[in-house]
Amino acid sequence: MKINITLITLLAAAVAISSCTKNENQKEKEVKKNILLEPWDGSFGGVPAFDKVNINDFAPAIEQAIASKEAEIAAIAAHGDTAPNFENTMVALEESGQELSRVLTLYYVWGSNMSSPEFEKIEVEMEPKIAAHQDRIIQNKALFKRIEAVYRSEELKILNPEQQRLVWKHYNDFVLNGAQLDDDAKAKLAEVNQKLAGLYTKFSQNQLGDEGEKYVLLENEADLAGLAPALKDAAAQEAKERKMEGKWMISNTRSSVDPFLTYADNRAQRETVWRMFTNRGDNADKYDNNALIPQLMELRSQRAKLLGFPTHAHWRLSNSMAKTPENAMKLMESVWKPSLNLVKKEVADMQAIAKKEGANIAIEPWDYRYYAEKVRKARYDLDQNEIKPYMQLEKLREGMFWVAGQLFGLGFEAVNNVPVFHPDVRVWKVFNQADGSLVGLWYFDPYARKGKRSGAWMNDYRPQSRINGKEVLTIVSNNSNFVKGKAGEPILISWDDAETLFHEFGHALHGLCSNVTYPSLSGTNVARDYVEFPSQVMERWLSTNEVLQTYALHYETGKPIPMELVKKIENAAKFNQGFSTVEALGAALVDMKLHLLDTPRIDADKFERETLAALKMPKEIVMRHRMPHFGHIFSGDGYSAGYYSYLWSDVISADAYEAFTEAGGPYDKAVAKRLKDHIFSVGNSIDPAAGYRQFRGKDPDSKALMRNRGL
């Protein structure tokens, strides 16, 4: 029997095509069902469906959303014969990629708060793809040609100031990220960015692994001598959660470590805990980050040169308030020397106390907090343990809400019908007290857990905007790492942690007060060395009598903190400023000097050691974030060559608070209105320096910072 091979081949091909089409249609159908791709529904303009997240959905959702956004971008770039204008180019860009924004919000929230080995594999796969997608948009010649045309058009002159600012922002963002490079340079840049994305992911995963797996276990209660009952309970609870009931655990997070270093009498255990925390990422094990740093630095150097900048620092600061690394260095160096002098005095005072108590020791880094607390008690008759019973986490949260009402007219009401990613997370709707109109939502996730990165931060789940009159409500969150104590008992936190709580709430208020048209200019989307100003200025309201007398209530008696104790706090306000300034500024100087290197392929530990020695860093202090766990600068570009921003912003915040003290006090209505109108509500819709002058009537004075820190 003769077989018609041609016919069989064609039939087979037809079946294959049919099968392939069927499979593709099925896949497409499955992707469309992916909950991560769905618009947010429910009240408040829609909310993230955290309760329906399946981490296996992330990769296909991100890939599909990237494809959708790139199709939208292609449509904007190829806008037929229509000449580019503000509406069809800039507004279209602002409205594009909403699906991807939703997916990435869920993805990054999961990575920061609910990470796991399974999720980390997804990050390793997705981060380079996300970086490549961003480069494809920046490097789209037709798109940039339209943006540039609007930037140079006559139309620009008749646009309103916010529209002009949006055009300026998009044009400059594209230029700074390589839109004007030739094809070869663009290809090299894209390759560098994808490699960096992979390294950033590895660095942050190593940091998370070190913090999650390492701890100090105490089996003898005598090792906790000096700790208040609440701290002991928290350590016992930590051990219990890790199935080690009857023991005590100091976990590898600042909220657990710092109180132990401040109060624990056992010096050997203090050293053990200090070394655990200080050596994160530097233990020659699977989580060691030292080998990643020179690779990161080499790639950053290559990128800066491709983009026409001598160093990574020059590139990063070109779009900042400081403008140049030299300006940032000038400020840091002006504060560094007086801070070192203050540390010498602090150490001498501590050494005297140690000698008086019969301790024949030289003060070491694991002694600093412990003996500083003794000096505080001797000099100001102030024991932090006296303050802590009044620092109830929930009462302080209520105090923050009250301050937001007094300054910005905001009200908060708890809601229970909003999905969350963990039972610890709670949600409040935020409204204007004057007319009850809805502002947005505030999520609060205060407790440490495995899979959650350390520290405290604010997230912007959805920025406020009103393109074409469509009001989009903002959604923000505050996340912390407080350690739970006994079930049913209030969480007591330190004064420093209370300041951090108010600080992060300042970021949230920056997002909640936003009143602009375009999402790219909304809320906290401002220069890195300006974004910390609204948060740092908010710290100052914690110590106002109105907050302390109403919300600093003793957890057992309910009585407000005594005025004599408040007076002691005021008297000691500038205490230990040498330590806190040098600890943070040392990290900022190392960051900047590292990113100013011409040949950045360095030995990380050696560079850190030699740079600190050249700076005459006191041996009694280690910089706040050692390089192997300096996530601010190595888990992304965020604060790289930008850790100085905290100091730069604090110059502004110190000067801004003096506007209140020079007027009717911290709750002066006229000054608060100016603060909201020209700082908190405008986002990046105006130049920040101009906005500050509208608020203050002048540029910030750095002497305010020196006065504030006793320098």
Q: DSSP letter at 526?
A: S
The one catalytic residue among 72, 127, 373, 504: 504
Instruction: Assign 3-class secondary structure to 19-74.
Output: HHHHHHHHHHHHHHHCHHHCCCCCCCCCCCCHHHCCHHHHHHHHHHHHHHHHHHHH
Q: Which two tokens stand for residue 287?
A: 């989580």
> What is the distance of C-alpha 200 from the center of its chain?
15
Q: DSSP string covering 533-548, please?
A: HHHHHHGGGTTSHHHH
Q: Write down the residue that tokens 């102030």 correspond to.
A: 382
Burial state string for 589-626 with b = 16 or more CB within 10 A and e = fewer than 16: bbbbbbbbbeebebebeebbeebbeebebbebbbbbbb
d(CA 37, CA 28): 12
Q: Which amino acid is at 606?
A: K
552, 563 in Cβ contact below 8 A? no
d(CA 100, CA 193): 19
> What is the distance of C-alpha 50 from the center of its chain?
21
d(CA 350, CA 382): 15
Kindly give, in sequence order, each residue whose CB lies less than 8 Å from that of residue 81, ignoring residues fewer than 6 positions away: none
**Bridge pairing between strands 438-447 and 474-482:** parallel
Q: Is the dihedral of CA 413, 414, 419, 423 positive or negative?
A: positive
Instruction: Give CA separation, 539 vs 41, 88, 643, in Å.
Output: 35, 42, 19
Strand partners, 475: 441, 462
Q: DSSP letter at 78?
A: T
Q: Write down the residue that tokens 């009240």 correspond to.
A: 43
User: What do you get for the CA distance between the two ends of the chain, in Å?
Assistant: 101
d(CA 599, CA 304): 12
Nearest to 661 by CA among 707, 711, 710: 707
Q: Write down the residue that tokens 């955290």 correspond to.
A: 50
Q: At what angle do helices 645-662 and 577-595 cross, to 10 degrees?
A: 140
Nearest to 453 by CA among 479, 492, 484: 479
Q: Write down the residue that tokens 């981060």 correspond to.
A: 127
Q: Is 504 a catalytic residue?
A: yes
Q: 3-state class of 560 per DSSP?
A: strand
Q: Which two tokens stand for residue 411?
A: 């009200």
- Give the residue numbers marked as catalytic: 504
